[in-house]
Amino acid sequence: MKTVHSASYEILRRHGLTTVFGNPGSNELPFLKDFPEDFRYILGLHEGAVVGMADGFALASGRPAFVNLHAAAGTGNGMG
């Protein structure tokens, strides 16, 4: 039986999103548990830097980027 966790990674794979940029908090730990070997995680020390790295990656590669930020405050910092 598929879990939400495994289905999430399957969807990301299908769309070529195997590089994750992030500044995680406690809410994101379930998503990062058993992180797949075919993915890579780029950790940033501030949400603004993480969004900037993802933007640069998307512009340079011509592919979409996936950003994983902590809920509420992290998302607000990333948008700022």
pLDDT in tens, 22-51: 888 778 888 899 999 999 999 998 888 889
pLDDT at 73: 57
User: What is the number of alpha carbons within 13 Å of residue 39 lying toward its C-beta?
Assistant: 27
**Inter-residue contact 1 to 26 (CB < 8 Å):** no
Q: Which residues contact 48 (CB under 8 A, 6 or more apart)?
A: 77, 78, 80
Phi first, then psi: what are they for 23, rounded to 5°?
Answer: -140, 85
Residue 64, burial from CB neighbour count under 10 angstroms (0-12, 13-18, 19+): exposed
Q: Which pTM was predicted?
A: 0.82
Phi first, then psi: what are they for 36, rounded to 5°?
Answer: -60, 145
